[in-house]
Chain A
Amino acid sequence: MLRRRMNDRISNMNDTTKSVYTSLGIVFSVGAICLGLKVRERTDIGGIQATTRVAGSSRMLASRSNDVNVPAADYFYELSQKLKEQYVEPVADDQKLATGAIRGMIASLGDPDSTFMDKDQFKAFLNARTGKYEGIGADLVLSTENHTTAPKTPGQPSAGEISPEEALVLVREIPRVQVVNVVPGGPADKAGVQVGDTVDSIDGHWVVQSDLIRKFRIASKKFNEKKMSRADLEALRTEIRIKFERAIFPMKAKDKLFMGKAGDVNVVWNRNGTMRKTKITKGVSSLSGFTVKNDTVMLPFQEGSAAQLKSAIQGKSSVTIDLRHNTLGDIQSMKQCLEVIAPKGEYGYFVTNRHDTPTPLNVLKGNSNPPKIHVLTDKSTRGMAEAFALALDSKGLIPHDKFLLGGDRTNRQIVQLPDGSGYTLVTSEYQAKLAKSTKSMTARKGGVK
């Protein structure tokens, strides 16, 4: 209607039409500016809507108003500027500031599986993902499992009941450095290190553990109830002080074992409460990668695995997939392998703790004539390998015997920064069947520093 009326008037230009054009022009121009801003915002932050940027230089400073939400990017800019203007030494390296900020954000998650890694750490991590290890030749995680009780069955997180006794001694959980995979034939393997071992000390440096602090709290309570002598309490206190004098934090301890191609480390391992002393010479070691032996396929989830799997099962009526020593698998590769070997269908979900819709793990085309599948798993079957095994199991594609798994079904994004450092971010967790309430999912535990 309006449009037609305007067309009518075009042929008959007068002042009214001119002002209509002018106002239209203004509307379009303003619209274009807004669109430009919007598009810019999306390009800046990778397609994610965020608060509009408002603050200009120096507006952030010297104001007295309350409750102002300064967008993060402006905050970053302003603080960087402030440092450059004021800091006692010249600050030239913006990259260092950005890396530091990202490191700070990741650390604030307090999640042992979402970690920031500097250049060397990240390089070692990426190499391990392709099966090339250095250090002692083992995968280590920071585990917050309660090591004093029996290990829980994978997939069965314990109910979060806390007794008053426990509440008293509840110390902020400091994760333990735990072995989750040992490279066969590597230095750790030769030294007899096993999956499940935790690190007690490295080269005489005690790795900080919350158990000891907890033990002290319990002792203090006993002392208070006159069930323990002052001398015993003092002795325990002295022991703790001595240990803390030469302590290292779990992250550092992990690096000491995971990185380096030469040199000896003296490690004391804790295996179910028994201490084992070892001397390990660091060096390079590697996992065998994709291999076929008889009807058994060693299947790491990395680039190219799906194609190799496809040709390996060609014309075979049965196949055994070895998922041992498989901890750092790639989700894309895992999905492709599932596509190769499993028929079309829904194979469980990737869920989050955010009350959003679970993402189904779908096999779109699939293999309409799949071979009989057996899997070999143990505690070093983790991450995407564990999800793969559980996915096959959810459709009854593998014999439903008890099979051992590592107990980690998290999916992690891996991000590399331009300076070579990088980080992992846990984005979801695999579940074969949707739990009624997402609350039953393992809550991410904090305490890493």
Chain B
Amino acid sequence: MNKGGRLLSFGGIVFGCFLFGFAWPDLQHGKLPNAHTVNALFGVRSGAAASPEQQFSHAYSKILTDYIQAVDPTNLKYAGMEGLMSSLGDPHTIFMPPRAAEAFNDETKANFGGIGARLGADALGAKISNVFDDSPAQTAGIRAGNIVTAVDGKSVTGKEIDDIVTMIKGKEGTLVRLTVIQNDKQRPVVLTVKRARIIAPTVDSKYIAASQVGYMSILSFSEPTAEQFDKELAKLEAHPLKGLVIDLRDNPGGLLDSAVDMLSRFFESKLVVKMKFRDGHEESAQTMPGFIHDFKYPIAVLMNEDSASAAEIFSGCLHDYGRAKLVGTHSYGKASVQNVFPLIDQSSAKITIAKYFLPFTPFFGRKVDQDGVFLSGGLEPDVKAELDPKSIIDPENPKTDNQLWQAIQVLNPTPSESTKH
């Protein structure tokens, strides 16, 4: 080989190496560079549109370098990922950056201690809506209606309720100082509460004597719910009953097994829900034999847009098998199963992997637009009743709660009421 030939082949090898380096990012993904990329190499503004990945990279870099003020690259990246996943219009397929992913873990593990009370939003902080029996909160003297204005000396006025709850929760056995406004006292008091493991009661009942109707509120579906349901039902059935209202408003769901257990009180060996996966395979759940209960009276289920998941399966099945009338507004529309995929940087991707179907109701999964605004989905009530903004939810006084009042009318129509409209 002469000198020129050697040089040429050497140059060829070097150029080949350059091409290899250039194409490497695509080769990693098992493809060749597209026309746009190759054209860009030679400085040609190609007619071929930039690939979606390139468009994303371009926008990402543009915002980092050209936006009027500095932007944190990591947060920007996460915002992009959130947008990517929400573009499918499924509110349950979401990207969770490291911090949110952590909170989700805590929630599912639920190994945090609390004070044993339920909190609601209030302009001054958080309002105690319910204190569990024998809970640390009760021992410390906290009562329903009290308002928490500070936690460990830090004011919580104006904070989001979720943030306040996070501040109150902590390691089991540790102490938390709550500044509380109590109705009977002039000044706020500071109460010290020892956090403990809380098993929240999920079922509550009340006999409404005036209408002879039983009222049962189910807050969520967890392990002891079916058992608690039986106990409360027995209490109600000690009275003459013309009907039963099961209140599932704001019930976010919980365990599917718990809903199946409960439904087994109503019908035996029947389909509850069918799950359909991406690859076409199906799984289903059925009620068990041997738990049937004889309900001798009509049943109405109260629901709203915050009734979701297991609560929808429960109410949907009662509706599908003709065992209950649904009253209220459309439910949330959680009709899918998600899997959480952890990612390398402690963030994670929650992706809907299956849909579930009720025995007869068509698919009721929630659809939202890009801003997360509800478009469609959820179970439709048999009797529609929007909550009057002036309502006070109080089973002692059912007339102050127009949805509950409507449910009672559905069960127990008296001529004077049914001719009202």
Decide: B344 and A105 in contact? CB cutoff 8 A: no
For residues 158 through 208 of chain A, which have their beta carbon under 8 Å from a beta carbon of chain B?
Answer: 168-171
Name which residue of chain A comes closest to B24, CB basis: A37
B390 CB–A CB distance under 8 Å: yes
A217 CB–B CB distance under 8 Å: yes
For residues 69 through 83 of chain B, which have their beta carbon under 8 Å from a beta carbon of chain A?
Answer: 69-71, 73-77, 79-83
For B81, B82, B344, B371, which residue has the most chain A Cβ atoms within 10 angstroms? B344
Contacts of B51 in A (CB 8 A): 94
CA distance A30 to B13 in the complex (A): 11
Decide: A63 and B83 in contact? CB cutoff 8 A: no
For residues 160 through 214 of chain B, which have their beta carbon under 8 Å from a beta carbon of chain A?
Answer: none
CA distance A13 to B349 in the complex (A): 61
CA distance A427 to B63 in the complex (A): 9
- Chain A min CB distance to B373 (Å): 8
Interface size, chain B (Cβ < 8 Å): 86
- A36-B18, A100-B84 given as contacts; is B349 within 8 A of A241 (CB)? no
Which stretch of B87-95, B254-262, B320-328 is in the interface? Answer: B87-95
Decide: B84 and A80 in contact? CB cutoff 8 A: yes
B4 CB–A CB distance under 8 Å: no
Interface size, chain A (Cβ < 8 Å): 102
Decide: B344 and A100 in contact? CB cutoff 8 A: no
Decide: B80 and A444 in contact? CB cutoff 8 A: no
Name which residue of chain B comes closest to A102, CB basis: B59
Contacts of A105 in B (CB 8 A): 59-60, 63, 76, 79-80, 83
- A44-B37, A87-B93, A88-B277 given as contacts; is B10 within 8 A of A82 (CB)? no
- A32-B21, A354-B70 given as contacts; is B344 within 8 A of A101 (CB)? no
CA distance A180 to B266 in the complex (A): 62
- Chain A min CB distance to B113 (Å): 27
Decide: B50 and A418 in contact? CB cutoff 8 A: yes
For B59, B76, B79, B355, which residue has the most chain A Cβ atoms within 10 angstroms? B59
Contacts of B87 in A (CB 8 A): 96-97, 99-101, 103
Name which residue of chain B comes closest to A99, CB basis: B87
Decide: A104 and B53 in contact? CB cutoff 8 A: no
Decide: A104 and B57 in contact? CB cutoff 8 A: no
Contacts of B71 in A (CB 8 A): 109
Chain A interface, >50% SS class:
helix
Q: Which of B61, B84, B352, B355 contacts A45 (CB 8 A)?
A: B61
Decide: B24 and A425 in contact? CB cutoff 8 A: no
CA distance A170 to B159 in the complex (A): 11
Decide: B84 and A60 in contact? CB cutoff 8 A: no
Contacts of B28 in A (CB 8 A): 56-57
For residues 12 through 27 of chain B, which have their beta carbon under 8 Å from a beta carbon of chain A?
Answer: 13-25
- Chain B min CB distance to A414 (Å): 12
- A36-B22, A87-B278, A104-B83 given as contacts; is B74 within 8 A of A77 (CB)? no
Contacts of A216 in B (CB 8 A): 123
Which stretch of B234-242, B287-295, B334-342 is in the interface? Answer: B334-342
A367 CB–B CB distance under 8 Å: no
Decide: A102 and B352 in contact? CB cutoff 8 A: no
Contacts of A61 in B (CB 8 A): 341-344
Decide: A66 and B84 in contact? CB cutoff 8 A: no
B393 CB–A CB distance under 8 Å: no
CA distance A224 to B80 in the complex (A): 43
Decide: B93 and A249 in contact? CB cutoff 8 A: no
- Chain B min CB distance to A259 (Å): 15
Decide: B53 and A106 in contact? CB cutoff 8 A: no
Decide: A426 and B55 in contact? CB cutoff 8 A: no
Decide: B24 and A32 in contact? CB cutoff 8 A: no
A72 CB–B CB distance under 8 Å: yes
Decide: A36 and B20 in contact? CB cutoff 8 A: yes
Contacts of A96 in B (CB 8 A): 87-88
Decide: A83 and B88 in contact? CB cutoff 8 A: yes
Interface mask (A81-94 → B, CB under 8 Å = 1, otherwise 0): 01100111101001
B124 CB–A CB distance under 8 Å: yes
CA distance A61 to B343 in the complex (A): 5
- Chain B min CB distance to A69 (Å): 7
Decide: A428 and B57 in contact? CB cutoff 8 A: no
B315 CB–A CB distance under 8 Å: no
Decide: A413 and B66 in contact? CB cutoff 8 A: yes
Interface mask (B1-44 → A, CB under 8 Å = 1, otherwise 0): 00000000010011111111111110011100100010011000
Interface mask (A42-71 → B, CB under 8 Å = 1, otherwise 0): 011110101001011101111101111110
Interface mask (B46-59 → A, CB under 8 Å = 1, otherwise 0): 00011111111111
A79 CB–B CB distance under 8 Å: yes
B281 CB–A CB distance under 8 Å: no
B139 CB–A CB distance under 8 Å: no
- A36-B18, A106-B63, A168-B157 given as contacts; is B81 within 8 A of A73 (CB)? no
B62 CB–A CB distance under 8 Å: yes
For B21, B75, B95, B389, which residue has the most chain A Cβ atoms within 10 angstroms? B21
Decide: A76 and B84 in contact? CB cutoff 8 A: yes
A434 CB–B CB distance under 8 Å: no
Decide: A73 and B22 in contact? CB cutoff 8 A: no
CA distance A108 to B74 in the complex (A): 12
Contacts of B88 in A (CB 8 A): 83, 87, 91, 96, 100
5 residue pairs A–B, Cβ–Cβ below 8 Å: A76-B81, A77-B53, A78-B343, A427-B67, A449-B371
Q: What 3 pairs across the A-B complex have the smallest Cβ distances?
A: A104-B83, A36-B21, A100-B87
Using A44-B40, A425-B67 as known contacts, list a sample of 7 further A-B pairs with CB atoms less than 8 Å apart, ordered by residue number in A: A33-B21, A36-B19, A39-B41, A46-B58, A76-B81, A82-B349, A426-B68
